[in-house]
Structure 1
Amino acid sequence: MPMSVADLESNLKEAFPDADIAIEDLAGDGDHYRARIVSSAFAGLSRVKQHQLVYAALKGKVGGELHALALETSSPA
C-alpha cells in the first residue's frame, strides 16, 4: 500500500519539528515523492548525513511503503 502525503509529512514533522517541509507527488501514485526539508537539525552536516537522518526518520518505509523519495535537504539560511 502506498504512503500518503499526510503520513510522509507526519513522519518527517515528528523527526524534524522545526522543519519547513514541501512534498510533491511526482507520479500521482503515492509511491514517488520529492521532499524539500529545511531544518536546523541539518546544520553542519554533510548532504549524506542529512539524508541518513531523513531515512532514519522514515523507519524503514523507503523501499517498502514508499518506493522512491527524491530529497532536497538544507539548514535555514
Structure 2
Amino acid sequence: MMEPEAIRALLQAGLSDAEIEVIGDGRHFQARIVSPDFEDLPLLRRHRMVYDILRSHIDSDVLHAISMRTLTPAQAAAEQD
C-alpha cells in the first residue's frame, strides 16, 4: 500500500520543477501534475513519463491504479484564469 505523499515524492524527484497533487486510498490514486518537462509532448508521452517513474511500484502491484492530468505550466495557468 502506498501513501499519496510517497507518490508525490517519487514524481517530484523524477520531474523538473513539478507541482504535484495526489489523492487516493492506498491503491487507487488521482494526480494532477504540472511540469515544464511536458512542454511540446503529446498526452501519451506525458503519461508514459509518469508511468516510467512509477513503473516498479506498478509492476509489483503496490500501486494498483493512477489516473492523471499532466499539464504544462502554461496550461495550468490558463486553467486558473
TM-score of the pair, normalised by structure 2? 0.83
Q: Deviations over 1:13-60 (max 9, x none)?
A: 0001401101111xxx31110000000000000000000000111132
> Which of 36, 40, 48 lines up with 2:36 in the alignment?
40
3-state SS of the aligned residue for 2:56? coil
3-state SS of the aligned residue for 1:62? helix
Residue of structure 1 in register with 2:53 after alignment:
57
Runs of at least 4 residues off by over 3 Å: none
Q: Could you tell me the percent identity over the aligned residues?
A: 34
Higher fraction of helix: 2
Q: Which runs of 5+ in 1 are unaligned?
A: none
Residue of structure 1 in register with 2:19 after alignment:
20
Name the larger-Rg structure. 2
Mean Cα displacement is larger for which, 2-11 or 56-65?
Answer: 56-65
How many aligned residue pairs are there?
A: 73
3-state SS of the aligned residue for 2:58? coil
TM-score of the pair, normalised by structure 1? 0.87
Q: Which runs of 5+ in 2 are unaligned?
A: 75-81
C-alpha contact (below 8 Å) 2:28/2:65 kept by paired residues: yes
Supply the distance in 2 between the matched residues of 1:17 and 1:41 (Cα, whole angstroms).
Answer: 6
